[in-house]
A and B are shown apart, each in its own frame.
Chain A
Amino acid sequence: AQSVTQLGSHVSVSEGALVLLRCNYSSSVPPYLFWYVQYPNQGLQLLLKYTTGATLVKGINGFEAEFKKSETSFHLTKPSAHMSDAAEYFCAVSGGTSYGKLTFGQGTILTVHP
Chain B
Amino acid sequence: ETGVTQSPTHLIKTRGQQVTLRCSSQSGHNTVSWYQQALGQGPQFIFQYYREEENGRGNFPPRFSGLQFPNYSSELNVNALELDDSALYLCASSFSRYEQYFGPGTRLTVT
Q: Which residues of A are in contact with B by a Cβ distance under 8 Å?
A: 4, 32, 36, 42-46, 49, 51, 90, 92, 94, 98-107
Contacts and interface: CB of A to CB of B under 8 A. Distances in A.
B41 A103 contact: no
Given A43-B103, A44-B90, A94-B97, A101 B42 contact: no
Nearest to A98: B56
Nearest to B47: A101
A21 to B, nearest CB: 13
Interface in B59-98: 90, 92, 94, 97-98
A interface SS class: strand
- Residue among A32, A101, A105 with max Cβ neighbours from chain B (10 Å): A101
Interface of B: 4, 31, 33, 35, 40-45, 48, 50, 55-56, 58, 90, 92, 94, 97-105
Nearest to B41: A106
A51 B98 contact: yes
Nearest to B91: A43
Contacts of A36: 102
Contacts of A102: 33, 35, 43, 45, 92, 100
Contacts of A43: 4, 90, 102-105
B104 A90 contact: no
B37 to A, nearest CB: 9
